[in-house]
Amino acid sequence: MSPCTRRAVLGAVLAAPSFSPSRLRAQGRYPEKPLRVFVPWTPGGATDIQMRTVCEIASRHLGQPIVVENRPGASGTLGPQALRDAKPDGYTLSQMPNSTFRMPALMRAAGMAPPFDPLAEFAWIIRMVGYMGGVVVRPDAPWRTMPELIDHARAHPGKVFYGTPGANTTDIVLRRVARQAGIDWTAVAFRGAAPNLQATLGRQIDFSAETSAWADMALEGRIRPLAVWTSQRAARFPGVPTLRELGYDYVAESSYGIAAPRGTPTEVVLAIHDAFKLAVHDPQHLAVLARFDMPVRYLDPEGYADDSRLVNAQEIETVRELGLRLGG
């Protein structure tokens, strides 16, 4: 069957009323009890807040509570690891961060067996959103633009240090920029956004490469963004250019969604998809996305499965090209 035909068939199935959440409930088929969703990050961060909001809205459409369970650690892979061992009945799901693909690639490159195969052990349900992030400096930093910062790094090789929220995270984009610009700057991995940004404000490092945790600080004038690595300028920061506009064709939105264990029945996957699709586009959820400058990046089950194969191949190539290692 051709890709166009498969997509047409899926579209017809998604439109069929027999698979709507309400119809499945009426038939007593699914769901008959609360769902559990793993969020492999600590409570209170942008991803946790976004996931709790979208799950709360989706639960209304499914007619059952959705319990969010935080599983932080192991670079965001503890959720997928737990999902791999769950029963494929639609009652256990997980948020699927980009590390679902990067960590197995890093482990294979180190000669280690990864705890799961991202392409073989999951049923991809819906891709929902992406991240906004960028390069930020102190308000009194001498560099007013990203080109000025790059020129400074070029004139001072090996003497410019920047922070990231962890090893093999936001430094991936900055490594690519450095390679293209012919500069040498050094990443310093912190344990999360707060210590990363504080190190910039405290002058321990020159700048931070960080996700949207800096947005409110920038609006208050406590930090200054020089560039973002989204595909378009952030709505709240229309004066801040994208890296692509500056001649560095790198987009790092790290879009994510939810998945179930492989073998979950198709009708259940589609019921979950339908509920979460409604939730993604709900005004309550969109308000949360606006708060964190997170773009909607919706894909249906087939599109998300196709995207997972693409991202997996990209991560394998990134590890090889940049010589990435576990732990940075």
Q: What is the DSSP letter of 118?
A: T
Q: Over 90: is that where the pLDDT of 136 sits?
A: yes
pLDDT mean over 310-320 = 94
pLDDT mean over 218-223 = 96
Clarify whether residues 174 and 261 are in a common domain: no
Residue 213 has a pLDDT of: 86
Residue in the structure block whose two tokens are 């891709």: 127
pLDDT mean over 46-74 = 94
Clarify whether residues 15 and 151 are in a common domain: no
Q: Closest Cα to residue 271, out of 26, 97, 52, 8?
A: 26
Q: For residue 197, what are the domain limits?
A: 133-228
Q: Are 191 and 328 in contact (CB under 8 A)?
A: no
Q: What is the mean pLDDT of the chain?
A: 90
Residue 22 has a pLDDT of: 53
pLDDT mean over 217-233 = 96
Q: Closest Cα to residue 143, out of 58, 40, 223, 50?
A: 223
pLDDT mean over 285-298 = 94
Q: Please report, for the domain that includes residue 9, its CATH number.
A: 3.40.190.150
Residue 322 has a pLDDT of: 86
Higher pLDDT, 63 or 326: 63
CA distance from start to end of the chain: 43
Of 210, 228, 246, which residue constitutes the final position of a domain? 228
Residue 21 has a pLDDT of: 56
Q: Are 40 and 97 in contact (CB under 8 A)?
A: yes
Q: Over 80: is that where the pLDDT of 2 sits?
A: no
Q: Over 70: is that where the pLDDT of 77 sits?
A: yes
The total of structural domains in the chain comes to 2
Kindly indicate the confidence band of residue 24, based on its pLDDT and cuts at 50, 70 and 90: low
Q: Which residues are CB-neighbours of 38 under 8 A, at least 6 positions away?
A: 69, 70, 71, 78, 79, 80, 82, 83, 92, 93, 94, 95
Higher pLDDT, 292 or 13: 292
Q: Over 50: is that where the pLDDT of 83 sits?
A: yes
pLDDT mean over 104-115 = 94
Q: Given its phi and psi angles, is residue 149 left (phi above 0), alpha (psi -120 to 50 degrees) or beta?
A: alpha
Q: Over 80: is that where the pLDDT of 98 sits?
A: yes
Does residue 236 fall inside a structural domain? no
Kindly indicate the confidence band of residue 325, based on its pLDDT and cuts at 50, 70 and 90: confident
Q: Kindly state the percentage of the chain with pLDDT values over 70.
A: 91
Distance CA 310, CA 122 (A): 15
Clarify whether residues 222 and 318 are in a common domain: no
Q: Over 80: is that where the pLDDT of 327 sits?
A: no
Q: Please report, for the domain that includes residue 160, its CATH number.
A: 3.40.190.10
Does residue 29 fall inside a structural domain? yes
Does residue 248 fall inside a structural domain? no
Q: Closest Cα to residue 87, out of 15, 139, 36?
A: 36
Clarify whether residues 100 and 155 are in a common domain: no
Of 172, 194, 228, which residue constitutes the final position of a domain? 228
Kindly indicate the confidence band of residue 287, based on its pLDDT and cuts at 50, 70 and 90: very high
Q: Which residues are CB-neighbours of 253 under 8 A, at least 6 positions away?
A: 130, 131, 132, 229, 230, 231, 295, 297
- Which stretch of 190-204, 234-248, 267-281 has the lowest confidence by average pLDDT? 190-204
- pLDDT tens profile 237-276: 999 999 999 999 999 999 999 999 999 999 999 999 999 9
Q: Over 90: is that where the pLDDT of 45 sits?
A: no
